[in-house]
Amino acid sequence: MDISLAHLGAGLAIGLAGTGAGIGLGLIGKGWVESLARNPEGASTFFVPAILSLALTEAVAIYGFVIAFMLLGK
């Protein structure tokens, strides 16, 4: 593979993964705050699903990071 295409692919991988993860994290955080504002007593109910959602969304950015390094390693 041409080295310039590998660099382009790595940049796109980390850029798009980071952008998607950032948007997803923002939407999850927004929903979490709105749900807590509407029902403050349900904080313990909302906590575990929100943290799991944040972790899974962050995994998308980590996958993009790994793919970028795999492309640059070739």
* pLDDT tens digits, one per residue of 15-29: 999 999 999 999 999
CA 73: distance to chain centroid?
Answer: 23
Tokens of 37: 């504002």
Are the C-beta atoms of 32 and 50 separated by less than 8 Å? yes
pLDDT band at 1 (very low <50, low <70, confident <90, very high): low
pLDDT of residue 74: 67
Domain ranges for the chain, please list them: 3-73
- Its pTM surpasses 0.75: yes
Retrieve residue 64's tokens: 């993009």
The fold of 3-73 is F1FO ATP Synthase (1.20.20)
